[in-house]
């Protein structure tokens, strides 16, 4: 008889990934969510995972061995309340993953405010290209694999190590559960204002992660970040390799890579931006720790196809290119725009933004937005469901910013402004009401 788990909050990227690898590991997997929605619902149903819409207590009739709880579930959830009232076994997603599937593996964890998904994808692909057949759980879909999660018979497992909290009953960051032997600390800025009071609170969680890396492991750390320097100064028991400056791993404008000044090889690829060069250095250093020589890592990266929703071209209509990107934090918006500017030179960039993350909705970052958008020629901001005045926040951009709280009006404004040769960069960490398709249809008409 196969062991059975029931996952509450199964349609999030992370919990959906757990469902997929649990199923591949031989578990019977069922799950529920408030709204069972694609693309995750489709991916899960294709794997033979039974999905239930809503959190009705009647799901207890399934009688799984354990309920695996996602961090969208809160006290007051009817199914959760009944699980607790009956004293039934439950566990958080990260804890279950750690205890059942990661315990005997060489975990490579990728942490940071930005670039986790891309760097995890690069690292998994380098290991795959080297024949190491890694398992992975990534918060996006790497195009080299076409799936966000898999388990394998390899001892290597790459995981996107997120600092968001674990569950309503465990307020530690998810990443403290993973016990990585190789840990990448990509960068560290203030984010997740809904759960962290300030940068220092996040630094504390990153130090909890550092405490879990063994002495025979490796920490690969961004050498340009004062916040990470402070984290390591609190105590570190593991060798550290830095990247982003000449004393560690570095890359020049031509893609030549050096370690402590010694040439290692040249990266030849199409990815844009300084942030991706930093991601590549981190992935190469971590893969080298797992036994992949740098030249082999460089060969893999030359074949790397990025992640869905990372500067993904959604269509070209009448000479106008429409991109989809996940950027939603001012730093990510700025680096994404800078990368596109490098590529298109003097061509016009129309930046389209939905401030949708919890941090952005709270308005904590609103004053940093105009500066992050300065590389764009026109800016279009969607202001529905915000608790702050987007028009006032965009004032420093003057006449080049348009703010609309109706999606169709926003599409119309963009289409009226666009002309052949333009690049429209749509940035959101959600579906943005299907704006890409609407825009492409409108431009075609």
With H, G, I as helix, E, B as strand and everything else as coil, classify residue 183.
Answer: strand
- CA-nearest of 382, 296, 377, 303 to 341 is 377
360, 367 in Cβ contact below 8 A?
A: no
List, as own/partner pairs, every contact residues 289-295 make where C-beta atoms lie below 8 angstroms and the sequence separation is at least 24, other chains included. 289/182, 289/217, 289/218, 289/220, 290/106, 290/108, 290/127, 290/132, 290/156, 290/182, 291/130, 291/132, 292/126, 292/127, 292/130, 292/132, 294/257, 294/259, 294/264, 294/265, 295/264, 295/265
**C-alpha dist (Å) from residue 69 to 89, 148, 385, 407:** 11, 20, 28, 34
pTM of the model: 0.83
Q: How far apart are CA 55 and CA 57, in angstroms?
A: 7
* Cα 230 to Cα 228: distance, rounded to the nearest angstrom: 5
For 93-148, list the strands marked E by DSSP: 106-111, 135-137
Secondary structure class of 403 (helix, strand, coil) = strand
Name the pairing type of β-strands 106-111 and 156-160. parallel
CA distance 390 to 342: 28
H-state helical runs in 176-329: 199-211, 226-233, 274-289, 294-302
3: closest CA among 135, 104, 148, 100?
Answer: 100
> What whole-number distance in Å separates Cα of residue 348 and Cα of residue 143?
28
CB 412 within 8 A of CB 385: no
Identify the CA nearest to 33 among candidates 47, 13, 12: 12
Q: Which residues contact 87 (CB under 8 A, 6 or more apart)?
A: none
> Which class in CATH covers the domain with range 4-93?
alpha beta
Residue 181 main-chain phi, psi, to 5 deg: -85, -35
Pairwise CA distance, residues 45 & 54, whole Å: 16
Q: Is 166 helix (H, G, I), strand (E, B) or coil?
A: strand
Considering the domain delimited by 312-444, tell me its CATH architecture: Alpha-Beta Complex (3.90)
Spell out the per-residue pLDDT of the chain, length 445, in tens.
Answer: 679 999 999 998 899 999 999 999 999 999 999 977 667 788 888 889 999 999 999 999 999 999 999 999 999 999 999 999 999 999 999 999 999 999 999 999 999 988 899 999 999 999 999 999 999 999 888 888 888 899 999 999 999 999 889 999 999 999 999 999 999 999 887 676 676 778 888 899 999 999 999 999 999 999 999 999 999 999 999 999 999 999 999 999 889 999 999 999 999 987 777 888 999 999 999 999 999 999 999 999 999 987 777 788 999 999 999 999 888 888 788 988 988 998 899 999 999 999 887 767 777 788 888 999 999 999 999 998 888 898 999 999 998 999 999 999 999 999 999 999 999 999 998 788 889 999 999 999 8
For domain 104-302, is the CATH number 3.40.1440.60? no
Domain boundaries, the chain: 4-93, 104-302, 312-444
């Amino acid at each position: 008889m196969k062991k059975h788990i029931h996952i509450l909050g199964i349609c999030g990227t992370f919990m959906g990934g757990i469902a997929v690898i649990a199923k591949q590991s031989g578990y019977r997997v069922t799950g529920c969510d408030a709204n069972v929605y694609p693309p995750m619902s489709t991916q899960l149903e294709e794997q033979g995972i039974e999905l239930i819409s809503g959190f009705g207590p009647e799901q207890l009739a399934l009688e799984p061995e354990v309920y695996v709880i996602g961090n969208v579930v809160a006290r007051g959830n009817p199914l959760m309340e009944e699980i607790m009232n009956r004293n039934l076994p439950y566990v958080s997603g990260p804890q279950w993953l750690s205890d059942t599937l990661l315990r005997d593996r060489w975990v490579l964890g990728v942490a940071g405010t930005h670039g986790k998904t891309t760097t995890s994808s690069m690292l998994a692909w380098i290991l795959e290209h080297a024949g190491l057949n890694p398992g992975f759980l990534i918060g996006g879909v790497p195009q080299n694999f076409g799936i966000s999660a898999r388990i394998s018979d390899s001892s290597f497992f790459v995981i996107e190590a997120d600092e968001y909290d674990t569950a309503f009953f465990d307020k530690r960051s998810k990443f403290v559960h993973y016990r990585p032997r190789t840990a990448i600390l990509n960068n560290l800025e203030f984010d997740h204002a809904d759960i962290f009071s300030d940068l220092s609170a996040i630094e504390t969680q990153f130090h909890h992660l550092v405490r879990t890396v063994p002495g025979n492991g490796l920490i690969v750390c961004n050498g340009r970040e004062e916040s990470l320097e402070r984290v390591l100064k609190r105590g570190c028991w593991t060798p550290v390799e830095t990247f982003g400056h000449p004393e560690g791993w570095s890359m020049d404008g031509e893609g030549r890579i050096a370690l402590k000044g010694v040439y290692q090889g040249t990266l030849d690829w199409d990815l844009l931006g300084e942030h991706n060069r930093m991601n590549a250095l981190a992935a190469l250093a971590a893969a080298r720790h797992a036994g992949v020589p740098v030249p082999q890592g460089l060969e893999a990266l030359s074949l790397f196809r990025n992640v869905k929703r990372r500067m993904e071209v959604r269509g070209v209509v009448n000479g106008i290119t429409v991109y989809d990107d996940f950027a939603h934090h001012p730093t990510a918006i700025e680096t994404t725009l800078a990368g596109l500017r490098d590529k298109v030179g003097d061509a016009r960039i129309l930046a389209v933004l939905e401030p949708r993350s919890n941090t952005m909705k709270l308005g904590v970052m609103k004053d940093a937005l105009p500066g992050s958008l300065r590389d764009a020629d026109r800016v279009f901001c969607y202001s529905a469901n915000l608790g702050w005045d987007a028009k006032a926040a965009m004032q420093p951009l003057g006449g080049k910013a348009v703010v609309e709280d109706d999606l169709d009006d926003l599409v119309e404004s963009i289409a009226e402004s666009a002309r052949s040769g333009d690049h429209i960069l749509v940035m959101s960490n959600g579906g943005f009401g299907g704006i890409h398709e609407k825009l492409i249809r409108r431009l075609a008409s």
